[in-house]
Amino acid sequence: MAVSSILWVALGGGLGAVARLLVGTWLATPGRFPWATLFINIAGSFGIGLLFGYGQHQPWFEQWGRYLLMTGMLGGFTTFSAFSLETVALVEAGRPLAAGAYVLASVMVCIGAAWIGLRLTGN
């Protein structure tokens, strides 16, 4: 793997992590349903569909775009590790129905968002 690829991922990851902090702080609902994480996962899934749809046949995408935007930026932005922890917290708080709803919404809506993003590109 080229050093430039690693640098693109590092740059994108930093930008994505900062974006996640800002969006997560803006949408935070402490002690309630984890709407911020759900929104971030939906937005990231939609974004990956758009990026892949528009970029998959572009030279810039294969050279640096995939590393910067998909692996780096969206990898730093999306939060499935936080999703997992929040699901466990809902279960441990005695809220198994909320945990189940959160899992279903996160998985199904995010898959749908990726599909819609891809379709909007004409692919």
pLDDT tens digits, one per residue of 38-56:
999 999 999 999 999 999 8
Q: Tell me the C-alpha to C-alpha distance, in Å, between residue 23 and each of 35, 38, 39.
A: 11, 11, 9
Query: What are the contacts of 62-68 at 24+ separation with CB within 8 A?
Result: 64/4, 64/5, 64/8, 67/5, 67/8, 67/9, 67/12, 68/8, 68/9, 68/11, 68/12
What's the total number of domains in the chain? 1
pLDDT tens string 53-95: 999 899 999 999 999 999 999 999 997 888 898 999 999 999 9
For the whole model, what pTM was predicted?
A: 0.80
d(CA 86, CA 81): 9
Full domain range(s) for residue 36: 3-120
